[in-house]
A = this chain, B = another copy of it.
């Protein structure tokens, strides 16, 4: 993959919204943007508090004429600069993704946005429409698809190494919300416990959409119908903390989905098992440098990044030699770097190409999945088509 600097003669100029110093996801986005030297972070509004925003910009070393107090100020100022930003990365609470994305696209900036796309289907559909109209790049950071062995799994399925896909299992199990908590406004990420900000289903927005997208990405299939229960298991809580679903996939495959943030002591266990007519694949995010393949005939195989048997689609997202693990940040960076290719391509007005990073339509699919699961759950487990949610 040719480096963006070679294509454009410069790094892309990036602004950020959200992710104040000390925030988990803000730091992740900034490292991901920096890792492959494809972006130059030139400005940002890292807090909704104007003073904190200014302070954070100084801390990050932004030029003095690019220290902004508000998103609006940043957008208006950048729009008029000769060296204006190419793209905006959004890592704010969920309820603002829509507003900021729309505003950025309106100003002609490409967008890299954290998941979930929006809090409502209506917003998601409007955003899909907007991206189509503006023809700008929109990257949604379902970062787990950036792992080399997730790419390997996908490509093995594309190449029919599993035969016809028949059975799928995906689960995302965390323990981060296993405790009963007294929510106070000044605790970190307090907004998560407020459904108005975090959306109709916290567990689904936080991690369920990751699991759903990972399954779609790897299999190339859509979830057609769900029979689900989504609810709250930890006492004294307003937001959802578990979601189970049976799945019918677009090719007729059957499956099961499980997501929870209430599994005490479990760290970040996002995993899948995919079975086709000629083999099964298993992967877990906690040991992302191992992909197990169980062929119908022959002993189990273990794939490693850049190791033997790795297909080009996977090899191209490893930076280093086999046996040297990469992790979460590198997977996240892979999306940033692929988005940079797309943005460079757009800047140079080259013909459209296919990219591997998730986009606005993937975000819409995630919202449809959430809504279908909630509808099924409310209706006593009946099967709901993801294509028919209102």
List residues of chain A with CB under 8 Å of any chain B CB. Answer: 3, 5-6, 10-11, 24, 27-28, 30-31, 34-37, 59-61, 162-163, 166-167, 169, 171, 173-175, 178-179, 227-229, 231, 233-234, 242, 244-246, 252-256, 258, 260, 262-269, 273, 275-280, 285-290, 292-304, 307-309, 319-330, 376, 380-383
Check if A296 sits within 8 Å of B179, measured CB to CB. Answer: yes
Check if B175 sits within 8 Å of A280, measured CB to CB. Answer: yes
What's the least CB distance linking A93 to chain B, in Å? 18
Check if B275 sits within 8 Å of A324, measured CB to CB. Answer: no
A276: chain B residues within 8 A (beta carbon): 264
A3–B30 Cα distance when bound, in Å, is 15
19 further A-B contacts with Cβ under 8 Å, apart from A24-B321, A320-B329, are A5-B60, A5-B61, A27-B319, A28-B319, A35-B329, A167-B233, A167-B263, A173-B273, A179-B296, A234-B277, A245-B246, A264-B296, A266-B294, A267-B322, A286-B325, A287-B287, A299-B307, A327-B327, A382-B382
Of all chain B residues, which has the CB nearest A275? Answer: B263
What's the least CB distance linking A314 to chain B, in Å? 12
Check if B297 sits within 8 Å of A308, measured CB to CB. Answer: yes
A196–B322 Cα distance when bound, in Å, is 28
A329–B297 Cα distance when bound, in Å, is 26
Given contacts A302-B302, A382-B382, A383-B380, contact A275 B286 (CB under 8 A): no
Check if B319 sits within 8 Å of A329, measured CB to CB. Answer: yes
Check if A265 sits within 8 Å of B309, measured CB to CB. Answer: no
A255: chain B residues within 8 A (beta carbon): 244
